[in-house]
Amino acid sequence: MEITNKVLDKVFFNDGSLRDIYVIDVNLTNWQKLFDWIRTSTWDIVIYKDGHVTVYDETDVAHFFEKKDNHSIVMSIITNGVSINCHFFSEDELEFDIDPKEVNSKSEANAVFEFMKNLSKILDKDSILTGENSHEHPLVIVNPDGTLNISAC
């Protein structure tokens, strides 16, 4: 599907809320696949612990979940100027958020959608982009074969 200004307006509208990307029904093996993919990517990656940049040398994603009970852990993936923030809320659901104010062009929207396509392919699961905390109302669904379904348009 071609990314148009209508897609930008309907998906990345600025109402003060974030957009969430979810992959549901996952486990630690899926989380590890995600983490291995991210670690070997060319993106800028920043890990925050309690809001402070931290060095993370562990290769086992389970370490994040061991720390999350006492600390806030966020992994920011920066692609084409858009920060995709990964939260370690639950082992059975991947959750990322993006600020729609960072998505002002077709190339920035494409960066988000390419991230979702690769995520879906690697995990062999749908990824969905929604309004903040609204995963029952997807704006975009990406299938494991890379098909992009924009329901907001």
Q: Where are the domains of the chain?
A: 5-150
Tens-digit pLDDT profile for residues 46-88 = 999 999 998 877 788 998 888 888 899 999 999 999 999 999 9
* Tokens linked to 130: 């929604």
Nearest to 132 by CA among 12, 3, 44, 17: 17
Task: Say yes or no: domain 5-150 is CATH 2.70.98.
Answer: no
Tens-digit pLDDT profile for residues 114-146 = 999 999 999 999 999 999 988 889 999 999 999
Q: For residue 23, which amino acid is it?
A: V
The neighbouring-strand residues paired with 140 are 129, 150
Q: In Å, what is the CA distance from 52 to each residue of 45, 46, 57, 72, 87?
A: 14, 10, 16, 10, 15
H-helix or E-strand spanning residue 24: strand 19-24
